[in-house]
Structure 1
Amino acid sequence: MLDLCTGDGQYYSFKGVPYAAPPVGKLRFKAPQPVSSWEGVRKATQHGPICPQHDIITLQFIPGNEDCLYLNVYTKTLKPESYLPVMFFIHGGGYKSGSGNVE
């Protein structure tokens, strides 16, 4: 499932799509492992959880979840034959803080 967003044009969003198995338990500090598949249609309308981190300005701890390997996909069309450019965005924070949650 997806969100249809309007405003300055129309686009579709798929939020909270897992790209690797949660790095918890025996997978902690290991190379990413493939994500398990799911049955049926996955609801992709909410951002995934953010990783635990410290705010780089206040240095306060921001609670999060170690199960935080999710991405968000935004597209203008759902037609597979519509080849479109892809932008890969890494949020700011110096690889120390931040998330893909823009809300």
Structure 2
Amino acid sequence: MQHRPRLSFWELFSMNFGFLGIQFGFGLQLANMSAIYSKLGADASKIPILWLAGPMTGLLIQPIIGSMSDRTWTWLGRRRPYFLVGAILASIALFFMP
């Protein structure tokens, strides 16, 4: 059995402090997306389906991308090309958000 290093308080704090920022982002999304969906013309009865679109897409796409990255070997490594493309696509999507 491999020995796992014991993390100090500050290492744990640093990791979790980063997640605090992520949670702020999720909070902003929760607070604003229903209003944005309504402004874009979504019917109030269809908004829950729109909220399910992201998790359902992740449920389907993540295993496919994971399988592809397991078989990828580039000079950037196995995962970095996917992080790079994902970051670029996310930046473009954020630019076009209302």
The structure in which a higher percent of residues are helix is 2
Identify the TM-score tier after normalising by the shorter chain: under 0.3
TM-score (norm 2): 0.24
Structure with more relative contact order (C-alpha pairs < 8 Å, separation 6 or more): 1
TM-score (norm 1): 0.23
